[in-house]
Amino acid sequence: MLNLLNRYPALSVCSADLQAMLDTLIECYSKGHKLLICGNGGSAADAEHIVGELMKGFRNPRKISKKESDAIMALDPVMGKNLVDKLQEALPAIALDGHVALTTAYLNDCEPLMCFAQQVQGYGCEGDVLLAISTSGNSQNVLYAATVAKAKGLKVIGLTGANESKLSAIADVCVRVPQTETYMIQELHLPVYHWFCLKLEETFWK
């Protein structure tokens, strides 16, 4: 964490919550669970960005296991070699802002503000984690998702701005970066999630 705080000293006020966030994610993945992520607007883009860092190598190649390599090669040695050379291990993560057919069907047929909550209901399992990103901490669709997550036994991590919020009240861990202007909050969210993606990779692929 020292490298992060040296580059972004303002985040020093969040150091305890940053560590709690990382510990929660390590526990989740150590036990074979997955991460669900939701947010609106720029935070939706952040959700997709995080998935991109977790579902493939971030800084380091993550070679698949010998057991998996052998199983693939046994099925097709020619195609298998290309697969074994190019596939990378992943940390399972799903951004809930995607899935256009599901999203538009639910928006049209049911309740637009509960679209994230519906996906938590469908994807979420006890032991998983929901990363809820909201600069205000009060986005209703994010709060619905967090409520369903808690009810289903998921841990909830909030990533917000400096102010206390409904999300900071319900989350198991909430990293409140020390800004109150939306774009400035988002500017601090990016180094936070790059940091935990890097630390997760270092933890599971040393």
Residue-wise pLDDT tens digits, 23-56? 999 999 999 999 999 999 999 999 999 999 999 9
The percent of residues in the chain predicted with pLDDT above 70, rounded, is 100
Say which residue the tokens 């097709």 belong to: 76
The percent of residues in the chain predicted with pLDDT above 90, rounded, is 98
Per-residue model confidence as pLDDT tens digits over 65-107: 999 999 999 999 999 999 999 999 999 999 999 999 999 999 9
Domains of the chain: which residue ranges? Answer: 2-55+90-204, 58-89
CATH number listed for the domain at residues 2-55+90-204: 3.40.50.10490
* 3 state DSSP class of 178: coil
The CA distance from 120 to 197, in Å, is 22
Would the pLDDT of 153 be above 90? yes
Contacts with 203 (C-beta within 8 Å, 6 or more apart), sequence order: 26
Contacts with 183 (C-beta within 8 Å, 6 or more apart), sequence order: 42
What is the predicted pLDDT for the residue at 2?
A: 83
According to DSSP, the β-strands at 35-38 and 129-133 are: parallel
